[in-house]
Amino acid sequence: MSRFQKILRGVVLFIGAVAFLFPFYYMIIGSLQTAPDPTIAGAFPNPSNITGENYTAINDRINLFQGLLNSGIFTGGVLLGTLVFGVLVGYALAVLQWRGRGVTFALALLVQVVPFQLLMVPLYVLIARDYGLSDNYLGMILPFAINSTAVIIFRQYFLQLPKELFEAARIDGAGEFAVLRRIALPLVRPALITVVLLTFIGPWNEFLWPFLITKEAGLQPLAVSLANYISNVAATAANPFGATLAGAAVLAGPVVILFIVFQRYFISTDIGSGVKG
Amino acid sequence: MTTLIENPPRPVGRTRRILGRNPLGLLFSAPYLIFVIAVFAYPLIYSVWISFHDFFFTAPGFEADRPFVGLTNYLTAFQDPAVIRSFGNVGIFLLINVPLTVVLSLLLASGLNRIVHFRTFLRVAYYVPYVTASVAVVAIWLFLFNGDGLVNAVLGPLAPDPSWLINSAWAMPTIAFFVTWKQLGFYILLYLAALQGIPKELYESASTDGAGPIRSFFSVTVPGVRPATVLVLLVSTVTGANLFTEPYLLTGGGGPDGASASPVLIMYQKGLQQGQPDVAAAIGVVLVVLVLVVALLQNRFAGGRD
């Protein structure tokens, strides 16, 4: 490849990256404008048109703290379920020999392509009507409780550990649970971070399910209350765009920061194998 | 006496013969298996059952009579032009979104795979929309593609009238572009993983044979990432068929006049808002069957032997 072609490639990739980041930049700018300025000049910071009022305005309508707390509980529940039960099944799939292992692995792959739309109605009937878990954190968490991609990633990591390690510990008399907790788990710490990142973005960003299952505003995750604000209240607000973008910034902030800090754990090969098996 | 001596190890032997060398594996996997059965397997079967019965919502604990009605729910669903239209809409969506996704993510991934400087910055830039909540990025696009928004301000006289999201010809394509942009990072990630698997020697021998960068892209890269392409086709098709948040928020519930309504949006409206879960379930079953057919066709034509 010639020098010119290399430079051209770099330029194209940079232009693409700007196109991907620009909306986020615009979100920040827009959320700080006193009066919305949709002209081209409005895309540049203007000191005379800066305010923090949009953040207070959106907070008056949807209680950002409560929304963040609800999103946190929803996401925390899913993370807990995935880390505890996902590690157990990932270990069983990689290290232990038992009947049903192949079927379980196949299920973990299959589950990832089951479209949620087919499950929407029956899950709503079961969880909201039969179990009475609407407007309840448990009802929100249940369909996402164990992330199957995480299971596959755990399996992949446990498979890479040398078998002799486990044999030695067993000969020393350690029970299987102790082997998992004291030997296997500390060795797959990078997998834990990858899984936390990957699992986090699911429930934190999820809209459809918590939207179906929560009618009470005090229990809605931020994504749901912001969506309700966009579709119902925005028309009556003084600066709906400023307030909406402020809400969007609060919703996007935690994930984007978490992702940038830990981006080196968002490694292509791990996640690629998680989806492909 | 002999039985006493022989007996104790026997139960262990038998469990091992039935359950395998480490029966504990089943215990470790039990919570996950119960989860998959409760949240995926049972609801899947239940959904098909609902679609063939006269089903309505009842108070918890109340047993209602739910007679078998054959294909009635399917007929009710597909005699409604709004349902037919929503399937057409998702077809338009997939025709734009899927090819665009495959081409752009492969091109960007092969560029990112070779680049030396600013590697991390560039990758993070492309992943950020994927990791961010749809609701948050929808809010930004609403502002950008509004009638007097920035996009139209830049385009000036070239802007469509009525504007993007309220124009019945442009609403669905705009959603398709939005989803392509939003999800592209994930597919770039998949292609980057696949590109690691192509041996460097293949590129070297292609270049000794006199192949330029474009030639070696088509004769080494494209065949080398074929399994990933099959996966990208499958995942983007399934994601597209699941479309809900974007028509619900970006075009205010599938507007203008149903031009961007998706089948899942119609399922929500019919099933949960209008209390016809049986009709909604029928739409869901048809949608999934169609997705399966599309996926099989894709696999047939793009899959090769993988």
Closest CB to B249: pick one of A120, A230, A273. Answer: A230
Q: Which fold has domain B76-302?
A: MetI-like fold (1.10.3720)
Identity of the residue in B140, B242, B281 whose CB atom sits nearest the CB atom of A27: B140
- pLDDT for A268 beyond 60: no
| Predicted local confidence at residue B250, as pLDDT | 87
Distance from CA of A43 to the nearest CA of B (A): 8
CB-CB neighbors (< 8 A) of B42 in chain A: 122, 126
The pLDDT confidence band at residue A269, using thresholds 50, 70 and 90, is low
pLDDT in tens, B103-142: 999 999 999 988 888 888 898 999 999 999 999 999 899 8
Q: Do residue B140 and residue A130 have CB atoms under 8 angstroms apart?
A: no
Q: Is the pLDDT of residue B304 over 70?
A: no
Mean of the per-residue pLDDT values for chain A?
A: 87
pLDDT tens digits along A217-244: 899 999 999 999 988 876 667 778 889 9
**In this complex, which of A27, A130, A151 lies closest to B32 when CB atoms are compared?**
A151
Interface of B with A in 211-270 (CB under 8 A): 213, 227-228, 231, 234-235, 238, 241-242, 244-245, 248-249, 252-253, 263-264, 267-268
A272 confidence band (pLDDT: 50, 70, 90):
low
Rounded to a whole number of angstroms, the distance from the CA of A219 to the nearest CA of chain B is: 17
Give residue B50's identity as a one-letter amino acid code. Answer: I
| Contact assignment for A5 to B213 by CB distance below 8 Å | yes
Do A207 and B135 make contact, defined as CB atoms within 8 angstroms?
A: yes
Contacts of A252 in chain B (CB under 8 A): 132-133, 136-137
**Would you call B291 an interface residue with chain A, using a CB distance cutoff of 8 Å?**
yes
Count of A-B CB contacts under 8 Å: 311
Q: Which residue among A19, A120, A131 sits closest to B267, beta carbon to beta carbon?
A: A120
- Residues in A touching B46 (Cβ below 8 Å): 122, 125-126
**Separation in Å, CA of A160 to nearest CA in chain B:** 18
Work out the minimum CA distance from B72 to partner chain A, whole angstroms: 18
Closest residue, chain B, to A17 (C-alpha): B125
pLDDT at B61: 65
Provide the pLDDT for residue B8. Answer: 43
Assign domain A66-221+254-276 one CATH number from 1.10.3720.10, 3.40.50.720, 3.40.47.10, 1.10.357.10.
1.10.3720.10
The answer to whether B133 contacts A255, with C-beta atoms less than 8 Å apart, is yes
Average pLDDT, chain B: 86
Domains of chain B, residue spans:
76-302
Q: What residue of A is the nearest CA neighbor of B192?
A: A268
- Which residue from A20, A91, A129 is facing B126, i.e. has the nearest CB? A20
Q: Which are the contacts of B288, defined by CB distance < 8 A and separation ≥ 6? A: A115, A117, A118, B241
The pLDDT of residue B162 is 84
CB contact under 8 Å between B143 and A104, yes or no, is no
| DSSP string for residues in chain B | -HHHHHTTHHHHHHHHHHH-S-THHHHHHHHHHHHHIIIIIHHHHHHHHHHTB------TT------B-TTHHHHHHHTSHHHHHHHHHHHHHHHHHHHHHHHHHHHHHHHHHH--TTHHHHHHHHHHHHHS-HHHHHHHHHHHTSTTSHHHHHHGGGS-SS-GGG-TTTHHHHHHHHHHHHHHHHHHHHHHHHHHTS-HHHHHHHHHTT--HHHHIIIIIHHHTHHHHHHHHHHHHHHHHT--HHHHHTTTTT-STTTT--HHHHHIIIIIISS-HHHHHHHHHHHHHHHHHHHHHHHHHH-TT-
A206 to chain B: closest CA residue = B133
Domain boundaries, chain A: 66-221+254-276
Does pLDDT of B10 surpass 50? no
Q: Is B284 on the interface with A (CB under 8 A)?
A: yes
Cβ separation A115–B181 shorter than 8 A: no
Do residue B277 and residue A259 have CB atoms under 8 angstroms apart? no
Of A136-140, A212-216, B17-21, B31-35, the one with minimum mean pLDDT is B17-21
Mean pLDDT of B30-56: 92
Residue pLDDT, tens place only, B162-174: 888 888 889 999 9
In tens, the pLDDT along B201-260 reads: 888 888 888 888 888 889 899 998 988 898 899 889 988 998 998 999 888 888 788 889
Per-residue pLDDT at B254: 82
Query: Is the pLDDT confidence value at B5 over 80?
Result: no
